[in-house]
Amino acid sequence: MDKIVSSAADAIADIAPGAVVAIAGFGVPHRWPSTLVIALREAGTSDLTVVCNALGMGPLSPHILAENRQVSRLIAAFSTVAGMPSVAEEQIAAGQMAFELVPQGTLVERLRAAGAGIGAFYTRTGVGTPVADGKETREIDGVPYVLETALPVDVALIRARQADAAGNVAFAGASQNFAPSFARGASLTIVEADEIVPIGAIPPERVDLPGIFVDRVVASAVGSALTPQMMAAAQRQQAPIDQARSYLGRPGLSRELMALRTARLLRPGSYVNLGIGMPTLVGNFLFESDVTLHAENGILGYGASVDLEQADPDLYNAGGQLVTALPGASFFDSVAAFEMARGGHVDTVILGGFQVDAAGNLANWSTPQMAGGGVGGAMDLVAGGAELIVLMEHADRGGNPKVLRQCSYPLTGVGCVDVIVTDLALIRVTPGGLVLEEVAPGFTPQEVASLTDAPLIVPDTVPDMV
């Protein structure tokens, strides 16, 4: 059995116009099957439905297919990230690309189900949000669930560290992400490998994807090393450490101080997920703590972010930041990562937010300015019942309050928020309302209440933050 194909052009030659193509990869620069994507662009195959986490950015990502007007429909967890314009967003807004938003955990589970011969499944992810609109919902043991159908695809394009002629695959570090589930859900799976090795060179216990799920193997012609330009694009997804925002003519807390206060809320011995954007800064203050960090792309036990010169390109968190793997770390795919989250094994989740309201509802994936949006794994993360801390500025850039009586943006989760940390306050969500527990130095509780749309319960004594 020999599944090796001589060129990427030959490997993708029979992908027909109108095909549904799943392309694995994570973040902006990480582990795209770039040789195959470039070959598909050069073939000019049109009217594609692309299934992915996001289209990424730059000349090595599926972004180039949208740029070349080859994508008519996008099924993804992101069409954009707030503050980052994208070709996909432009085409969605112009009616040139259809868009179906699917939370990351639901996306990988739909592909996995297709490969397992399971037609549909019930999930708590998306209950009470626009993702559930038009879908069957059902109570099981008193808990509401949404019915999601399997998502079979025509072709999956994935990248691996090693593959052999039998199609056995080994991934590197935290780079499995969507690849195993995408391969299982496809009628035809094409693997681009950095190294093609003889059959038997990958020990059986090191095979991450058995050859039965793989149809073709081609050697990668594009290196996996991250360039400064690629990492600069990735870092633009992250919230910069900026100067403190001013309220009533005085500065609130800087983002670093907000992250420090949030880090102090974490319990020793807990498993914690940090959302993209500002929450990633919390990781900078956990060096001496007994906290284990979890990321949706498939790593448990990662450490501090590192510079490009010191980095392993296959060690990164869900925000695409290059990190270290601590002693005792483990790697897995996104299916397992979301089993940990939805199954209640993650203790605390820290997410950014556009809005939080008095009922503890969270909105953090779309604004009226977005044609699509970017939910990522947030809906899955809040569905598991973990403690949820929302880290965000007290007001948006227009000065509008973000802690509201009722969210006006599409919801990420219903009644899921436990604590809100802003640059002005620490607020706890309770059955009786929002309790103001701490205020930023230099501000009074009354001033914070005046800058908050939702009513606050103000104790007799409210200490300073940090």
- Over residues 145-200, the pLDDT tens digits come to 999 999 999 999 999 999 999 999 999 999 999 999 999 999 999 999 999 999 99
14 burial via Cβ count (<10 Å: 0-12, 13-18, 19+): exposed
Dihedral class, residue 376 (left if φ above 0, else alpha if ψ from -120 to 50, else beta): left
Q: Which residue has the higher pLDDT, 226 or 320?
A: 320
435 burial via Cβ count (<10 Å: 0-12, 13-18, 19+): middle
What's the CA gap between 463 and 466, in Å, rounded? 9
pLDDT higher than 50, residue 82: yes
326 burial via Cβ count (<10 Å: 0-12, 13-18, 19+): middle
Q: Is the Cβ–Cβ distance between 153 and 51 less than 8 Å?
A: yes
Q: What DSSP character marks residue 395?
A: B
Bridge partners for 425 per DSSP: 439
Asked if 136 is an active-site residue, the reply is no
pLDDT higher than 60, residue 226: no
Q: What is the pLDDT of residue 231?
A: 55
> 323-378: per-residue pLDDT in tens?
999 999 999 999 999 999 999 999 999 999 999 999 999 999 999 989 899 999 99
85 pLDDT band, cuts 50/70/90, is: confident
What's the CA gap between 15 and 466, in Å, rounded? 57
State pTM to two decimals.
0.94
Domain boundaries, the chain: 8-220, 246-457
What's the CA gap between 303 and 317, in Å, rounded? 9
Q: What is the pLDDT of residue 81?
A: 73
What's the CA gap between 337 and 348, in Å, rounded? 14
Same fold, 8-220 and 246-457: yes
What's the CA gap between 60 and 50, in Å, rounded? 16
* 246-457: in CATH 3.40.50.720: no
- Chain-wide mean pLDDT for the chain? 93
Span 439-447, average pLDDT = 98
Of the candidate ranges 31-35, 261-265, 407-411, 456-460, the one whose mean pLDDT is the lowest: 31-35
Cα-only R_g, the chain = 22
**CATH classification code of 8-220:** 3.40.1080.10
Q: Which of 109, 296, 393, 438 is catalytic?
A: 296
User: Which pair of structure tokens corresponds to residue 317?
Assistant: 């968190």
Residue 18: Cβ within 10 Å count: 13
Q: For residue 125, give Cα distances in angstroms to 21, 145, 272.
A: 24, 8, 19
Residue 85: Cβ within 10 Å count: 9
Any idea how long the chain is?
466
239 pLDDT band, cuts 50/70/90, is: very low
> 411-439: per-residue pLDDT in tens?
999 999 999 999 999 999 999 999 999 99
The residue type found at 256 is E
Name, in order, each residue with C-beta under 8 angstroms of 227's C-beta and a sequence gap of 6 or more: none
The residue type found at 351 is L
Q: For residue 447, give Cα distances in angstroms to 245, 254, 402, 444.
A: 15, 18, 15, 5
> 14-69: per-residue pLDDT in tens?
999 999 999 999 876 678 999 999 999 999 999 999 999 999 888 889 999 999 99
Residue 340 in 3-state DSSP?
helix
User: Which pair of structure tokens corresponds to residue 408?
Assistant: 């006006």
Q: What is the pLDDT of residue 29?
A: 63
Q: For residue 379, give Cα distances in angstroms to 55, 107, 275.
A: 20, 12, 11
237 pLDDT band, cuts 50/70/90, is: very low
- CA 369-66-375 angle, 5° bins: 45
